[in-house]
Amino acid sequence: MAITRRTALGAMAAAPLLAGCAHLPSTRGWDAIVVGAGVFGAWTATALQAAGQKVLLVDAWGPAHARASSGGESRLTRAGYGSDAIYSRMSRESLEDWKRLSQDANLPLFHPTGVLNLFRDDNPYTSHATGGEAVLKDLGIPLERLTPAQVAARFPQVNAGDVSFGQFEPDFGVLMARRSVMTLVQAFLAQGGAYAQTAILPPQPGEALRTPQGDTLEGTAYVFACGPWLAKLFPGLLAEKLFATRQEIFFFGPPEGATRFGPATMPGWTDFTQEAVHYGFPDLEGRGFKIANDDHGPLVDFDANDRLVTPEGLAGVRAFMAHRFPALASAPLSESRVCQYENSATGDFLIDRHPAWKNAVLVGMGSGHGFKHGPAVGRRAAALVTGNGAQESRFTLASKADRQQRSVH
């Protein structure tokens, strides 16, 4: 799907995103209403618009707001998913859309840093990664296998002493998350889409949407891409199948003048050498060296909890960072934040029709790895709306269990 975005920059320069959106543009006459202006909702609205539909995009707080799973500074885009070829294909497919969007933006959305993945022979992730090398080769996705000496030579910031091998994906890198979603929504608006900032009450299948202010929104079709709020809109369907977990993110200040931690020399990275997977980013645009523990945190009520990191979380990433990036052992903490994953039991996405509401599509369960796949997810969701796509069994509601057994990494 090639989407023209020539007007996006003009729209961004002309007016703030929410200007003129205090009132609903119209309550009826929409081909599709997309609820949720995060990465999945914004790309779904864009795909529906490209298919010729009149689309209203709705969000309670705004595109990629601070509490959204799409909010925040940055996300990795990578292709390595072991033998899960479906996600490798979706990553490759989505990357081209991200690059096009970035080319038209007034600030970069995609930083082509490459992605380095580190493994150890006695770790269960290693066989998964090795099996995926054939997948990437079949898909024509470049991948370099590096010895520990090659890792250390190319990336001297990394202590590779306990690394068995590395995998480097040169075509991938880092996406600027919130900025990307804002840019995409601006392009959607500039090309005739509509946006309204309003909450939606828990819907009733077959009925129009209602807002707390008493408005009724009517569309031929509905898409719900609400991140963890899906479980609150559809508690009977999803309360036991969507797991919102608390995730802590940290930014550290690199040494003064230490450009070796910037994106020109430091890739995005994921470390599978220990039981707890860690991942991180170079010092992008002076924000700091970002690092996080990918293990699922405790279940959380994302509407009620204050978002403060814990001393234990900080101590854990400091200990890991001192080992893997020793030059940062004493780096000062410059920023921290708490976000959430909205997980399915396995880590697979949800892209399916509502079982009792055939013109409604449910999209979500990004499970901590979904952002990069936004364009591909949006296309698949839009195809369900228009009747032009086949259902993927792994993304169905029926495939979602009520006990977590993560298998997608």
pLDDT digits (tens, 9 = 90+) for 220-249: 999 999 999 999 999 999 999 999 999 999
CA nearest neighbour of 78 among 135, 159, 153, 1? 135
Distance of CA 357 to the CA centre of its chain: 27
Q: How far apart are CA 296 and CA 303, in angstroms?
A: 18
| Angle at 218 (CA atoms; ends 212, 220), nearest 5 degrees | 145
Q: Is the pLDDT of residue 107 over 60?
A: yes
Q: How far apart are CA 266 and CA 52, in angstroms?
A: 42
Q: Can you give the pLDDT at residue 5?
A: 38
The helix/strand/coil state of 116 is: strand
Confidence of residue 378 (pLDDT cuts 50, 70, 90): very high
Q: How far apart are CA 266 and CA 362, in angstroms?
A: 38
**Complete domains list, the chain, with CATH:** 112-173+242-343 (3.30.9.10)
| Angle at 35 (CA atoms; ends 61, 360), nearest 5 degrees | 165
Taking the model in full, what pTM does it have? 0.94
Q: How large is the average pLDDT for residues 323-330?
A: 97
Q: How far apart are CA 133 and CA 142, in angstroms?
A: 10
Confidence of residue 143 (pLDDT cuts 50, 70, 90): very high
Q: How far, in Å, are 63, 75, 173, 242, 362 from residue 372 at the CA level?
A: 16, 7, 10, 20, 19
Q: What percent of the chain has pLDDT over 90?
A: 87
Q: Can you give the pLDDT at residue 389?
A: 78
